[in-house]
Amino acid sequence: MERLSIRRMGNSKLIISESQNFKISTFNFSTTIDTISEILAELKRNKLRTIATGFAVTSGLFLLIVLLGAGNGLIHSFTANMGNMSFDAIHVYGGRTTKPYEGIKEGRRIELDQRDREMTERTFSDRVKDVMPTCEQSGMVAAFEGKYLSATLTGIYPGYAASYAIKMLEGRFINDIDVSESRKTLVISDKNVKDLFKDGKSALGQVVSVGNIPFRVVGIYKANEMNQNSELYAPYSTISTIYNKGEKLDELTMTIKNIPTEEAMEEFEKDFLRSTSRIHSFSPDDRSALWIWNQAKDSISMNKAMDILHIAFWVLGLLTLLSGIVGVSNIMLISVKERTREFGIRRAIGAHPWAIIRMVILESIIITGIFGYIGMVLGVLFCEWMDKTVGNQTMDVGVFQAKYFVDPTVDLSICIYATIVIIVAGALAGFFPARKAMKVKPIEAMRG
């Protein structure tokens, strides 16, 4: 192997053999180490260019990860705050008419009854899974061993828990046997437990007096922070019988099926309103006659909004990453143009074009790899910092408290893929201008 010496040409250092005969050997570990050492020396001599390239790579990856993390934080917070709602349920309440109909003046109160339940089960069986009536008795006082609280006693069916996404903490919810046998069973919230029972005393199995009627506690659920007063749940048949509700309903809850779009949901509401208007004799286009809380339609709208938000953050992040790639490409293009004379000299003394192109590509990969990793780590750390600080803060609106930034993190695979993309882009940014420089004849390159 020939002995090599280093000579300076302008601002560049070249490795030239003493005999001026530069032979290209096959790829091996030692030649790779020599090439990397030469690249590192080149980067050290051109600190400003190296820093500029690294800053473009680091900032591009850092901003991509931070933007995606912030977007995920907003989406996760929205999902968490809406976690106490079921998104396949529709709740219907009686309203007041605003239009005259068949000689009946407007302003009439519409009260739901069992006919609405039977009509829904019969007419909309293709679009409705379950139909559950609800009756309420408000202004009730619950008492236990000298402690009292004011609450609403609600008669429900077992499916009510799913329609309102009620989360059980202890015990069980109202079941079918409770309803069929009209048992005096009661499900209370964890807030009720704090108000009625002494610290450390188990509420399960205890008998609580509600309106001077004994109910046995069979379950404890997590209170909904969006409600100021937690409800007491008992079997529908029990409340309907005790308080003589008869055929009247306070609420009709449905869980839907086969209604995938907002248009189909709107059509269902119109059909339901039209069918109900025949029972209660009001105008079929009088939407105020019934108050319909359509959680299923809210779910479709929410998913669309989250998809748009997710896409928007992805677009912003990719544009930021693209700006970093463009920055790397420009700097590599300038670097190659500055070294065209050096490349001409290398070729004149026998260097193979691919050896020069490989050196440029390796230089680009080293820069983008090191600074890409730095950008990825900084982005992940910043997301963790956001989670530790902003992610633990809550928004208090009086009625309830909600977190407005939850888990602003990015999947590690996305970070790795983004780093790989910018490394590949950096390699291409070095390859194409270097290949173009190789097409220039050595004599013309040295003359330039």
Decide if pLDDT at 414 tops 80.
yes
Least confident stretch, 242-251, 259-268, 286-295, 436-445: 436-445
Q: What is the pLDDT of residues 138-157, one digit of tens each?
A: 889 999 988 888 889 999 99
Structure tokens at 150: 């004011």
| pLDDT of amino acid 403 | 64
User: What angle is formed at CA 279 by the lines to CA 277 and CA 281, rounded to 5 degrees?
Assistant: 55
Helix, strand, coil tally for the chain in percent (to 5):
50, 20, 25
Give the alpha-carbon dihedral of 164, 170, 171, 173, to 10 degrees.
Answer: 0
Is 440 a residue whose pLDDT tops 60? Answer: yes
In degrees rounded to 5, what are phi and psi of residue 279? -75, -40
pLDDT at position 300 over 50: yes
134 with 240: CB under 8 angstroms? Answer: no
Task: Give residue 240's pLDDT.
Answer: 93
pLDDT, residue 15, reads 41
What's the chain's length in residues?
448
Residue type, 446: M
Judge whether residue 228 has pLDDT over 80: no
Q: Is residue 104 helix, strand or coil? A: strand
Asked if the model's pLDDT at residue 166 lies above 80, the reply is yes
Cβ atoms of 234 and 153 closer than 8 Å: yes
pLDDT in the model for residue 85: 60
Query: Per-residue pLDDT averaged across 273-282, rounded?
Result: 93
Tokens encoding 199? 């610290």
Q: So what's the pLDDT on residue 395? A: 59
Per-residue model confidence (pLDDT) at position 143: 92
Q: What is the mean pLDDT of the chain?
A: 81
Q: Is the per-residue pLDDT at 7 higher than 50?
A: no
Buried residues in 95-127 as b, exposed as e (16+ CB within 10 A): bebebebeeeeeebebebbeebbebbeeebeeb
pLDDT tens figures, 350-392: 778 787 788 788 878 888 888 888 988 998 899 888 888 876 6
Instruction: Work out the percent of the chain whose per-residue pLDDT is above 70.
Output: 83
Burial degree of 405 (CB within 10 A; 0-12, 13-18, 19+): buried
For 424, the token pair is 């590949």
Q: How far is CA 133 from the centre of its chain?
A: 34
